[in-house]
Structure 1
């Protein structure tokens, strides 16, 4: 579509390899390898957004994956089934992604230290994985313009009521799904950084702020703002916001 952000169609280096982990077309992840002389010994798992909808896949994160690999990280871009696809919706989407993370962790050609970076709905998913001890050995997660609080996102009708499409109804109709899927209602057990674009009108910074405000004292969460950035600048390596994203990834790997 002509009105889509440039990063959605920008060309990037092809992945060095693609791993198939199961029978479904979404049982897959792509790997970008860094220059061995610059390798940091850390794997970054990328989780794309798109309001959990079928039309958006991992392809638009290829420029970000390539950039992070150039900056020394091993990068795995993870796919998952979306609403309307086999295995998609709640809880299939989240459990499938959890299995993909386990596959990346078991990949002997990728370094063990793992940071997950999720954009938009992918930000929701990485925060869910960072809760309730769902992933062992996770250094931390970074949500970029994350749908961090599902109740708030539903209240704002983000993505044409994408939360309701994903969960199968509203809070009154599927209260258990909201309780199980919403990281804002769960115990955070890995470090989390929420990065919002100052001009993001797709997932407004207030959504991340609501999540952060609801955390218990001492929870390992922090927030930052990319000045002048919109929703897609956060995953565009040609945007100044990339330097903030890179710095947050580096900061997580130091702890």
Structure 2
């Protein structure tokens, strides 16, 4: 199946871009992909500890894999902390990008929203208080910035990301998003058991401190997986991610909280 490409700009910075992927119009001999709940639109937000160790292009293989399954995919690029994206800049970028997608085509308002690593933090920050009711999938998330800073995750990336905010008297807690039930219909957290970038201690802390009155939480732990395996379709761990995004049941340990 061939894949269609496109781009949208949501701001003046070269970083403020949305990369679009999806099934191309069927050619002679192709079987059209039906628009079904299993092929809901998907929005991806990359990680990289807010400084762009990773970029939107790193999620292109995952976007291709989703497009081959019939999904339309939007990968959000945002300003890094060193170029206007320091808190709350990148979070505002992601919220603006989601708003533009909905303006262009209302079906994006029903997209599955997926955040990887620090991209999970930006996704939750963009959703907080929006009553969007989305289905959210967080892959190896870094969301509790106080605990992430305490553990030195990303070699001090949190302190760089929050430098201006902290200097102005702000706190790590103020920059840690907390969703209300209306903000997300459900949240699934996928952790990689051999994650070398997000320590298990941070993952446990974030799950243990998930607000009791927040959206329904499901946790999935993928054995033998490293941090980037979750977004690499060439790795077995990514099959679990594709199943979850598509609305299917994961084939590894799954727990509702």
TM-score exceeds 0.5? yes
Uncovered stretches (5+) of structure 2, i.e. residues with no partner:
25-31, 249-257
Secondary structure of residue in 1 paired with 2:79:
coil
Residue 22 (structure 1) aligns with? 11
Shift of 1:68: 0.8
Residue 101 (structure 1) aligns with? 98
Note closer, same or farther for the CA distance 1:225–1:174 as it changes in structure 2 (3 Å cut). farther
Q: Which moved more, 1:75-84 or 1:210-219?
A: 210-219
Shift of 1:218: 5.0
**1:39-50 matches, cutoff 5 A:** 39-40=35-36, 41-50=39-48
Shift of 1:215: 2.2
Shift of 1:180: 2.6
**1:174-213 matches, cutoff 5 A:** 176-183=170-177, 187=180, 189-190=183-184, 191-213=186-208
Shift of 1:152: 1.4
Secondary structure of residue in 1 paired with 2:243:
helix
Matching of residue 66 in structure 1 with residue 60 in structure 2 = no
Q: Which moved more, 1:226-235 or 1:174-183?
A: 174-183
2:153–2:198 CA contact under 8 A, matched in 1: yes
Equivalent-residue separation in structure 2 for 1:31 and 1:186 (angstroms) = 27
Q: Deviations over 1:148-175 (max 9, x none)?
A: 211111111011110000011797x666
Shift of 1:228: 0.4
Residue 115 (structure 2) aligns with? 118
Root mean square deviation, CA, Å: 2.5
Note closer, same or farther for the CA distance 1:144–1:31 as it changes in structure 2 (3 Å cut). same
**1:139-150 matches, cutoff 5 A:** 139-150=134-145
2:115–2:138 CA contact under 8 A, matched in 1: yes
2:51–2:82 CA contact under 8 A, matched in 1: yes
Shift of 1:224: 0.9
Residue 8 (structure 1) aligns with? none
Uncovered stretches (5+) of structure 1, i.e. residues with no partner:
1-12
Task: Choose the corresponding residue for 1:162, options 157, 165, 168.
Answer: 157
Note closer, same or farther for the CA distance 1:240–1:110 as it changes in structure 2 (3 Å cut). same
Secondary structure of residue in 1 paired with 2:81:
coil
Count matched residues. Answer: 236
Equivalent-residue separation in structure 1 for 2:240 and 2:190 (angstroms) = 9
| Rg comparison, structure with higher value | 2
Secondary structure of residue in 1 paired with 2:7:
strand
Equivalent-residue separation in structure 2 for 1:186 and 1:37 (angstroms) = 34
Equivalent-residue separation in structure 1 for 2:246 and 2:34 (angstroms) = 14
Secondary structure of residue in 1 paired with 2:121:
helix
Residue 243 (structure 1) aligns with? 239
Q: Deviations over 1:188-215 (max 9, x none)?
A: 6312111110000201233232122112
Give me the TM-score of the superposition, normalised by structure 2: 0.82
